């Protein structure tokens, strides 16, 4: 069994083992789950063998893309027969978001170690006027002002990167007529309440007066200062 199971897969596994059975369980999620804790072996047509430990069972790909309730219950029995136990909860991973209207720097506890921060990919939301509004995950990023994005795709991208976060701290730019940090908080409360519920603190700073190194140091302080 693979011991490195993604956080979202762990949540699904926990639900299947002892939570309320989901009514709509996508087949793709089931295949992803079994693939991480065991093996999925094609058996011809729409039938697949699920192998976890010494247990083996056959499941058919549903025509509706979601497993029927009876099949979800059978999947639960299979997982129990395979000897799986409720996953032990991981210690919350702290994530710090430093955001203005042009960039969001997202620091995670496993990435902020000494002076080393791993670079991430750059995502560019809709930018019809070429203002170069973008979401970045790099300590080298330069503060670029306060023009507010017309599209919410910027905040959608931030939300996607916070989907697997544990504890979240939001640091927004504290000057001007509006705060991207405040907008992000309201956006998450409205559209992603589960993510919003994991925000443990927020504050405002004058990011334009800080160097990249100073911003990184502030993020690191929030990583180690667990209350």
pLDDT at residue 156, rounded to an integer: 87
Pair 101, 175: CB distance under 8 Å: no
pLDDT at residue 11, rounded to an integer: 80
222-226 CB contacts, 8 Å cutoff, 24+ apart: 222/94, 222/96, 222/169, 222/171, 223/94, 223/96, 223/107, 223/109, 223/112, 226/94
Give pTM, 2 decimals: 0.50
What are the residues whose beta carbons fall under 8 Å from the beta carbon of 32, sequence distance 6 or more?
Answer: 9
pLDDT at residue 134, rounded to an integer: 44
pLDDT at residue 213, rounded to an integer: 82
pLDDT at residue 133, rounded to an integer: 43
pLDDT at residue 91, rounded to an integer: 53
- Tens-place pLDDT, residues 197-209: 999 999 888 888 8
- Tens-place pLDDT, residues 120-153: 333 344 444 444 444 444 433 443 444 444 468 8
Q: In angstroms, rounded to a whole number, what is the distance separating the alpha carbons of residues 57 and 47?
A: 10
Regions in the chain scoring below 70 on pLDDT: 1-4, 86-93, 110-151, 175-178, 224-227
pLDDT at residue 81, rounded to an integer: 92
Residues of the chain with CATH 3.30.420.60: 94-224
| DSSP-based three-state secondary structure for 200 | strand
Locus of tokens 């058996």: 43
Looking at domain 94-224, does it have CATH number 3.40.50.1100? no
pLDDT at residue 216, rounded to an integer: 80
**Order of strands across the sheet with 199-205?**
104-108, 94-99, 167-173, 199-205
What is the dihedral sign for C-alpha 174, 179, 180, 183? Answer: positive
């Amino acid at each position: 069994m693979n011991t490195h199971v993604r956080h979202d897969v762990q949540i699904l596994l926990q639900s299947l083992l002892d939570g309320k059975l989901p009514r709509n369980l996508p087949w793709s999620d089931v295949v992803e789950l079994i693939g991480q804790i065991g093996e999925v072996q094609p058996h011809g047509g729409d039938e697949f063998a699920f192998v976890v430990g010494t247990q083996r069972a056959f499941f058919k790909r549903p025509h509706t893309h979601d497993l029927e309730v009876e099949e979800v219950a059978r999947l639960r029995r299979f997982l129990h027969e395979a000897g799986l136990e409720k996953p032990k909860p991981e210690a919350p991973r702290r994530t710090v978001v430093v955001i203005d209207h042009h960039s969001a720097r997202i620091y995670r506890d496993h990435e902020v170690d000494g002076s080393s921060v791993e670079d991430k990919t750059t995502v560019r939301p809709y930018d019809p006027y070429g203002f170069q509004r973008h979401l970045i995950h790099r300590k080298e990023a330069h503060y670029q002002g306060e023009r507010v994005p017309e599209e919410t795709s910027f905040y959608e991208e931030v939300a996607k990167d916070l989907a697997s976060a544990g504890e979240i701290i939001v640091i927004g730019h504290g000057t001007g007529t509006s705060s991207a940090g405040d907008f992000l908080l309201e956006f998450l409360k409205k559209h992603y309440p589960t993510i919003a519920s994991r925000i443990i603190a927020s504050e405002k700073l004058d990011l334009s007066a800080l160097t990249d190194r100073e911003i990184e140091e502030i993020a690191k302080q929030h990583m180690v200062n667990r209350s």
